[in-house]
Structure 1
Amino acid sequence: MLRRNRRITAVPPDRREGLVRLCALDPVEGVSLAHQLTRWERWGRGDVVVTGTLDAPTAGAWATGSLMVYGLAPRPGLGHAGADPQDVRALAEHARGRMVRRGAVSGPRRDVEAVWGPLSEAGLTAREVRWNQPLLLAPRTAEGLLAAQLRRRPHLGWVGAGTRAAVPAEDALVQPAAAAMFREEVGYDPACSGRAFARHISWLVGSGRGYVLLDDGQGGPAAPGGPAAVAFKADVGSLWRSPSGAVAQLTGVWTRPDLRGRGIGTVALAAVVDAVRADHVGPDGVVSLYANDFNAPALGLYRSLGFTRHGTFATILL
C-alpha cells in the first residue's frame, strides 16, 4: 500500500526527528506520539507514517492495530497549517488496513475528528466514541501537592507516606488492579487480547513508572509481612523530554471501589504528582492526564487538586 500511496511516507527509526519536532509544537498534546517515537528503537515499515516530508511533516501517526494521530488539523496559533484533505484520506486508507478489533483511534480531538470522517466512510465502525476527554495539567506549587492535602486530611498521612513507585516483586499485586482499571475504563478484559497488556504493566513497573498505594485490604495501612492489596494506582504512561521541557502523562489512575469517597485517591494522586516530578520530570516539568467527561467523580478529584484544562483528547473504541 505504501508503494501505491505516494501521499504518505513511512518513517524509518533513524529519520524520526522531523516528526518529533512536529510533536514539540504542543508537547502536552504531542507527548503520547512522541513517547512512542522515542521509546522504540525499531519498528516495522508503515508502523509510523507522515504526510508532507520526513524532515518537515504536516502530520504523523503511529498505526499498529490502533491509530495514534497528531498534527492533522490546523493550529493557527502555532503556525501549523495541518494536513491537506487528500493527505488525511491517504493516511486513513493506510491505517484502515491495519486496524484490529478492540483497537482505538486516539489523539487530540481535532486530529481524531479529521481522520475519523474518511475512516468511517471506508466502513470502520465504533464500539464507543469519546469525543470530549479533558486534557488537564497538574499545578506547580513550591511545597508540592501532598503537603496541602495532608493539612486538610492529617488522618491520611499513611496514604501520603505509602504511595510510591512499585517494585518488580509487586507485579503480581499490580496486575489485577491494572486489569480492573482497564475493565472499568474500556469495557472488556484486557486478557482477551493476549499478554500485551500484562507485559506493558510489567514494563511500567520495571521502569519505575507504576505508582501504587498498598493497604491491608480493609482501608488501613499494610503491616510488614501482613496482607496487602492495591488501594490506588497510577502510571506514567507517556514520558518525553521535549525541547521545551519534560512532560509526563499519567494513565491508569484508579482507586479500589470500596475506598472511593474517603479522600484516599485525592491524597494518593497528590503524592504521585509530587513523586513524578521528583523521579522523572523535575520541579519545572509538566504532569498531565486526560479523563472522560462523563467521569464526574474523577473530574471533581482533579479540580480539588487544582488541575487546569489544556485541551481536549478524543478516543474512538473499535
Structure 2
Amino acid sequence: MLRMPAPVRGLGMADATQALEICGRDPVSNVFVAARILEGGLTGGRNSVLGYDRGGRTGLCWTSANVVPVEVSSDMVEPLAAKVVKRRAWASSLFGPVDQVLPLWEVLAPQWGPPREVRGNQPVMTIRSAPSVLGVPIDTAVRPAAAEELDLVVPAAAAMFTEEIGYPPFRGSDRAYRLSVGALVRDGRSLVRIENGEVIFKADIGSVALDVAQIQGVWVHPRWRGRGIAVPAMAAVVEHVLRHVAQTVTLYVNDFNTPALATYRHVGFVQTGTFATVLL
C-alpha cells in the first residue's frame, strides 16, 4: 500500500514565495504572518510556519508566541492542530479570522486547557482613503516618536498592553520590552502625541506587507479620554501610513470597545472581516 506524504511540514526560506502567495489571497487578514515571513520568520530551526499542502489545497499556520492560521479550511484543521499542539510551551494566544481560529481552538482546547479569555467577535476595520479627503480633522501634533523619547513611549506602551491584555508586558527587568518598543521607534513606526513631557496618544504600525499596514497599540492617556483627541489623532496616523507606508490601513478591535469602534468609523474605517482571539 502506498503511503501518502504528510500534508503538514515546517517551512523554510525556499518556501517563502509560495507562503507569501497564500497570504496574498487575503492581504488584510494575513498581513501579520506575511510581515513575519518578510522579516525572516522562515529562518532558524523551530519551523515557525507550518504549511499544509495536499491535492493542490494549501494553507499555513504561524506558530510562535502567537498561533495564527492563514487560509485554513475545515479539512486542514485536524492535521495542522496535530503539529500545533506541540507548540504550547511558547504560545500565548491564537488570533486571526474567526472561522479559522475557533475551529482550531476547538481541537487544541482539550490538550491546552482552559483559556484565560476567548474574544470571539473582533471587527477587522480597513481604510484606503485619506481621512482629510473625507472631511475628518487631522491632529498635526501626531508624529513618529524620536529615539530620545523612548523613555516616554515605553510607559505608554506598557499601560496600553496591560489595559488590553490584563497583565503587564514584563515582570522584573524591562530590557526585552524596551528593545521591542525601541525597534518600533527606531523604524519610525510608533506614532505619538506628546504634551508636557508625557505621551497622551500612541499608535504603532505593527505589521507591513503586501501593501497593507496593520495598526496596533492604539492608546489615549486616561486623563485625556473624552476630550475629542482620538478621532483627529487616528486620522493623522492613517494619513501618515497612506502617505509613507502602504495603500491600505487595517486594524482589529474588540466588539465591546464601543468608544474605539466609534472612533475608527468616524475616521472612515469600515468593517471588512471578523477576527477572534484566544488568550492563553
Superimposed CA distance per residue, residues 51-74 of structure 1 (whole angstroms, 9 cap, x where no aligned partner): 116x966211111233111111xx
How far is the alpha carbon of 1:275 from its aligned partner? Answer: 0.7
Name the stretch that deviates more: 61-70 or 288-297: 61-70
Q: Give the aligned partner of residue 100 of structure 2.
A: 111
Q: Distance in 2 between matches of 1:102 and 1:50?
A: 18
What whole-Å deviation, never above 9, does each CA across 1:114-147 have from its counterpart, x for those lacking one?
21111013243210000100000125148446x6
Q: Which residue of 2 aligns with 1:190?
A: 169
Identical pairs, percent? 36
**Deviation of the 1:310 alpha carbon:** 0.2
The one-letter code of the counterpart of 2:199 is: V
Structure 2 match to 1:128: 117
Q: Tell me how far apart the structure 2 counterparts of residues 57 and 190 of structure 1 sit (CA, whole Å).
A: 38
**Paired position in structure 1 for 2:189:** 209
1:31-70 alignment runs, 5 A limit: 31-40=31-40, 42-52=43-53, 58-70=58-70
Structure 2-normalised TM-score? 0.91
Residue 151 of structure 2 is matched in structure 1 by: 172
Contact 2:131/2:267 (<8 A) preserved: no
CA distance in 2, matches of 1:214, 1:308: 28
The gaps in structure 2 that reach 5 residues or longer are none
Structure 2 matches for 1:141-160, cutoff 5 A?
141=130, 143-144=132-133, 148-149=136-137, 160=139
- CA distance in 2 between counterparts of 1:230 and 1:31 reads 28
Aligned equivalent of 2:200, options 219, 226, 231: 231
- Quickly say closer, same or farther: Cα 1:166–1:303, change in 2 above 3 A: same
Structure 2 residue aligned with 1:17: 17
Amino acid at match of 2:44: W
Q: Secondary structure at the match of 1:99?
A: helix
Report matched runs for 1:300-311 at 5 Å: 300-311=262-273
Cα distance in 2 for partners of 1:178, 1:275 equals 20
In the alignment, structure 1 residue 200 sits paired with structure 2 residue 180 = yes
CA RMSD of aligned residues (A): 2.2
1:130–1:229 distance in 2 versus 1, CA, 3 Å? same
Query: Aligned AA for 1:128?
Result: E
Q: In structure 2, what is the Cα distance between the partners aligned to 1:308 and 1:213?
A: 25
Alignment length (residue pairs): 274
- Aligned match for 2:261, one of 299, 315, 318: 299
Cα–Cα, structure 1 residues 95 and 197, in superposed 2: closer, same or farther, change >3 Å?
farther
In structure 2, the CA distance between the partners of 1:279 and 1:56, relative to structure 1 (3 Å rule), is: farther
Q: Distance in 2 between matches of 1:102 and 1:252?
A: 20
In structure 2, how many angstroms separate the alpha carbons of the residues matched to 1:56 and 1:280? 34
Closer, same or farther: CA 185–200 of 1 in aligned 2, 3 Å: same
